[in-house]
């Protein structure tokens, strides 16, 4: 397996883009490709992020990519995935609009889009860029947002797979949209870069689930970006679920633009992978908006999970609530860096942030850094972080009532996680997560 240094990785992706561009033929003259070219130029300026970048101080993705990846043995896209094989990873008992991606590309045969609810439009992003050019010009990679980094530029440069979703004004979509991302690493290492654009028009309601799975024993690298545009009087629920293989590297950016007075609820759940980096960046542009962000990382082995969040309060009279919790065992490592910006005009802002961690082994590690940057003076903001072990008094209390040690620990950890899990409003999905956590604990 080849060992790559940062300069080699930069050259590799630039070379990949050149080959990708040559395969586009006449498409290279379309507006979407102009954004691709600008993005690759931006990527060239800074290259693949590494440990000298402050935001990647505790998560050296370049190092693990160079260590695990064999760029001479990449998938040639000659993969096949049957519905029977894929269905093993679908959320049981979930009635959903099913979108299946294989190596970053929407697979129409495995997806279920024949009977979409009224008010829902779904199309492959490549063709939607032409068919809905006005929406793309207005929203695709257009809105500046704090926290975006060079991985997002790299993803934009390779925009080809992925999906475009539009929720019409006044549509209340009770059926969630479930996106299943499969990396087929059974025969070779694989790179996938899905790019999604979701637009929720005014007075609409919808829910989106993203689930990531790598099949096979080879290494996978996923660099995913989902842009979510939320307009006036919308309620949008977003769930991200990662239960990857031990050879999976993933960088995911979810960029939320609350352009109208709206409610956004996000829940991120991380269970396994070699290295998982979750960037959740939210910009609040309209007064009286509400933003809620919850996360749970339940780690064992050598899994490394890094949650980076940004909430940018640009306007007054808004509220954000953030609660991330971690349970770490084995030699796992958890990183949390949460930033809240309160701009000078954002008076009457209420912003709260909490990160709590329970460490179960001597070899597990947590790095946590909650941050507030406030330029307004009439605000209520707080943040805090804790790292500790299980409460011995609570454990003694349960043991004294005849409960064995293993069961008592499991009860306490389930109670610790319940604050996050209670925010999963889709019953079938919550049941799955609870069962996975019970298996682990």
The pLDDT value recorded for residue 343 is 97
pLDDT of 417 above 90: yes
Across 113-129, average pLDDT: 93
pLDDT tens, 194-236? 999 999 999 999 999 999 999 999 999 999 999 999 999 999 9
Asked if the model's pLDDT at residue 28 lies above 80, the reply is no
Q: Bridge partners of 290? A: 263, 319
Q: What is the pLDDT of residue 1?
A: 41
Strand order in the sheet with 350-359: 105-106, 97-102, 177-184, 205-215, 234-243, 262-272, 290-299, 319-328, 350-359, 380-388
Between residues 353 and 413, the one the model is more confident about: 353
Q: How many CA atoms lie within 13 A of 359 on its CB side?
A: 16
Q: How far out from the chain centre does Cα 257 lie?
A: 15
What's the pLDDT band for 115 if we cut at 50, 70, 90? confident
pLDDT of amino acid 405: 79
Question: If we measure between CA atoms, which residue out of 368, 286, 285, 360 comes closest to residue 322?
Answer: 368
Mean pLDDT for all residues in the chain: 93
pLDDT at 29 over 80: no
Lowest mean pLDDT among 31-40, 89-98, 253-262, 392-401: 392-401
CA angle 34, 38, 41 (to 5 degrees): 140
Considering only 75-89, 92-106, 334-348, which range has the smallest mean pLDDT? 75-89
**Is the predicted pLDDT of residue 78 greater than 80, yes or no?**
no
Measured CA to CA, the distance from residue 135 to residue 197 in angstroms comes to 10
pLDDT at residue 76 in the model = 65
Residue 157, sorted as left (phi over 0), alpha (psi -120 to 50) or beta, turns out to be: alpha
Token digits for 418?
A: 């319940």
pLDDT in tens, 256-279: 999 999 999 999 999 999 999 999
Q: 305 is written with which tokens?
A: 């999970």
Say if CB 249 and CB 221 are below 8 A apart. Answer: yes
The tokens for 117 are 């609810």
- Residue 156's pLDDT is 97
The overall pTM is greater than 0.75: yes
Region 153-180: mean pLDDT is 97
Task: Give strand pairing partners of 270.
Answer: 242, 297
In this prediction, residue 80 carries a pLDDT of 76
- Is the confidence at residue 190, as pLDDT, over 80? yes
CA-to-CA distance for 303 and 332, rounded, in angstroms? 5
Residue 2: band (very low, low, confident or very high) from pLDDT cuts 50, 70, 90:
low
Q: Confidence class of residue 70 from pLDDT cuts 50, 70 and 90?
A: confident
**Count of Cβ atoms closer than 10 Å to residue 295 Cβ:** 24
Supply the pLDDT for residue 77: 62
How far is residue 148's CA from residue 305's CA, in Å, rounded to a whole number? 18
Instruction: Please state the rounded mean pLDDT for residues 399-417.
Output: 84
The predicted pLDDT at position 220 comes to: 95
Most distant CA atoms of the chain, gap in Å:
74
Q: How far apart are CA 252 and CA 266, in angstroms?
A: 14
Angstrom distances, CA of residue 370 to CA of 76, 201, 340, 354: 42, 32, 8, 8
**Mean pLDDT computed over 338-367:** 96
Top mean pLDDT of 28-42, 298-312, 402-416 is at 298-312
152 has pLDDT over 70: yes
**Cα dihedral 149→372→231→111 (10° resolution):** 50
Among 73-77, 109-113, 219-223, 236-240, the minimum mean pLDDT is found in: 73-77
Residue 436 has pLDDT above 60, yes or no: yes
């Amino acid at each position: 397996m080849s060992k790559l240094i940062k300069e080699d990785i930069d050259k590799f992706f630039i070379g990949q883009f050149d080959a990708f561009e040559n395969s586009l033929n006449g498409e290279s003259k379309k507006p979407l490709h102009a954004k691709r070219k600008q993005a690759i130029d931006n990527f060239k300026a800074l290259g693949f992020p590494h440990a000298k970048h402050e935001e990647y101080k505790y998560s050296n993705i370049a190092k693990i990519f160079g260590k695990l990846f064999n760029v001479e043995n990449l998938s040639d896209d000659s993969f096949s995935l049957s519905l029977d094989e894929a269905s093993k990873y679908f959320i049981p008992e979930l009635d959903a609009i099913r979108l299946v991606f294989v190596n970053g590309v929407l697979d129409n045969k495995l997806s279920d889009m024949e009977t979409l609810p009224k008010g829902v439009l779904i199309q492959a992003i490549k063709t939607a860029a032409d068919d809905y050019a006005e929406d793309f010009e207005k929203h695709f990679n257009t809105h500046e947002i704090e926290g975006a980094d060079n991985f997002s530029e790299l993803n934009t440069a390779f925009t080809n797979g992925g999906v475009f979703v539009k929720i019409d004004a006044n549509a209340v979509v009770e059926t969630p949209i479930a996106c299943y991302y499969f990396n087929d690493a059974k025969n070779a290492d694989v790179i996938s870069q899905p790019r999604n654009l979701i637009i929720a028009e005014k007075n609409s309601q919808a829910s989106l689930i993203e689930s990531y799975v790598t099949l096979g024993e080879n290494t996978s690298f996923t660099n995913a970006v989902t842009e979510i545009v939320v307009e006036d009087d919308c309620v949008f629920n977003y769930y991200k679920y990662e239960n990857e293989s031990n050879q999976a590297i993933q960088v995911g950016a979810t960029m939320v633009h609350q352009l109208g007075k709206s409610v956004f609820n996000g829940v991120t759940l991380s269970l396994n992978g070699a290295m998982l980096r979750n960037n959740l960046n939210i910009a609040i542009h309209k007064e009286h908006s509400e933003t809620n962000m919850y996360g749970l990382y339940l780690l064992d082995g050598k899994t490394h999970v890094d949650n980076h969040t940004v909430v940018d309060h640009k306007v007054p009279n808004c509220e954000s609530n953030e609660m991330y919790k971690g349970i770490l065992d084995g030699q796992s490592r958890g990183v949390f860096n949460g930033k809240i910006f309160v701009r000078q005009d954002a008076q009457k802002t209420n912003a709260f942030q909490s990160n709590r961690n329970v460490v179960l082994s001597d070899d597990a590690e947590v790095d946590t850094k909650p941050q507030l940057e406030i330029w307004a003076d009439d605000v209520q903001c707080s943040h805090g972080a804790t790292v500790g072990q299980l409460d011995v008094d609570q454990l003694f209390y349960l043991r004294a009532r005849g409960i064995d040690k293993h069961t008592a620990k499991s009860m306490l950890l389930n109670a610790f996680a319940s604050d996050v899990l209670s925010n999963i409003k889709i019953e079938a999905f919550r049941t799955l997560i609870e069962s996975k956590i019970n298996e682990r604990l």
